[in-house]
Amino acid sequence: MCDEHMIESVFEPPGAHRARPCKPAEARRAVERAVAERCRITHTPCDTDALSDALLVASELTTNAILHGGGVTDFQVDIDGPGVRVSVSDRSDALPVTVPRTDPHGRMRHGGHGWPIVCRLARDVRVSDLPAGGKRITAVVPLS
């Protein structure tokens, strides 16, 4: 179950809030709304391939926070110039890692693809420690 927490979009009036995404699908919808609003306001077409990349990054960061970080404690999405910035916070101080594709016995591992996907699709990825514990991962995905 999710703790109550609110997010703000840079395209909404001050004080307008939405509940923090608890599932990857909710994170994807928040990114879709922010990008669609940016395209509407700027009268520019949305690059569907770039949007797909941003949706995948949001989904992977949210999934990793749920599976490995003790749950999503904060989520923010906004437009950062020519890109979309997605920040996901969780309870864990552990840094993300890339795991080998095979285990010590040479068998293929399941999972372990999320972090490499985020690093490949985002132009800027930062991991920050949070003062009360846990971490925030921020990724900026180009929109063109």
The full set of domain ranges for the chain reads: 18-142
Give the pLDDT confidence of 54-109 residue by residue, as tens digits: 999 999 999 999 999 999 999 999 998 889 999 999 999 999 988 877 888 888 87
Burial class of 130 by CB neighbour count within 10 A (0 to 12, 13 to 18, 19+): middle
Average pLDDT in the chain: 85
Q: How confident is the model at residue 112 (pLDDT cuts 50, 70, 90)?
A: confident
Q: What is the pTM of this model?
A: 0.82
Residue of higher predicted confidence among 49 and 9:
49
The predicted pLDDT at position 63 comes to 95
* Per-residue CA distances from 22 to 4, 26, 80, 143 (Å): 10, 7, 23, 24
3-class secondary-structure state, position 98: coil
- The residue ranking higher by pLDDT, 56 or 15, is 56
Tokens 């996907």 found at: 117
* The CATH number of domain 18-142 is 3.30.565.10: yes
Q: Give percent above pLDDT 70 in the chain.
A: 87
Is the pLDDT higher at 90 or at 44? 90
